[in-house]
Amino acid sequence: MIKKNKISSDDKKDWEDFLKDPNIVIDEKENSQSKNIKSQFTFDLHGYSIEAANKKVIEIIENCYSRGILRILLITGQGHHSKVEDNVYVSKDHSTLSGTIPEFIQNNADISSKIISLNTASEKKGGKGALIIKLKKIKV
């Protein structure tokens, strides 16, 4: 028999709020220094077209910036399932989210002005299939 841990009412409320609005930020509970630190927002872009992903990235960066979230993990995938190898007229690097999102962000002055750095994630966080975006602190 497997022992089940009881779920706190706070955790249940956080989960219900998240199900209602997936863009809501759930506080980092593992951080023992402060329970109110909103350290990172994570979003998976699998299934998005390049155009839809670009719009979503703008929305995420603006939302996180205005809420004081300083780090975003964008999961783009590595493009293994995009079937670009079959088409000689399509660029492998510029037909996948992992290839186009960084360029899109860098070419958008309003969005890039809110960013300190944009890097490929560590292998543990997704490697070439994920991006870490560090945002500037909002000026009050």
Give 61-87 pLDDT, tens digit per residue: 999 999 999 999 999 887 544 454 554
Give the pairing type, strands 41-44 and 71-75: parallel
Domain span at residue 92 reads 35-135
48 lies in some domain: yes
25 lies in some domain: no
Instruction: Give the C-alpha separation, 62 to 87, whole Å.
Output: 35
117 lies in some domain: yes
18 lies in some domain: no
69 lies in some domain: yes
For the chain, how many structural domains are there in total? 1
- Over its length of 140 residues, how does the chain's per-residue pLDDT go in tens digits? 555 566 677 767 766 766 666 555 554 444 434 444 457 899 999 888 889 999 999 999 999 999 999 999 999 887 544 454 554 444 444 457 888 899 999 999 999 999 999 998 888 887 888 999 999 987 76
Tokens of 113: 């002005």
5 lies in some domain: no
14 lies in some domain: no
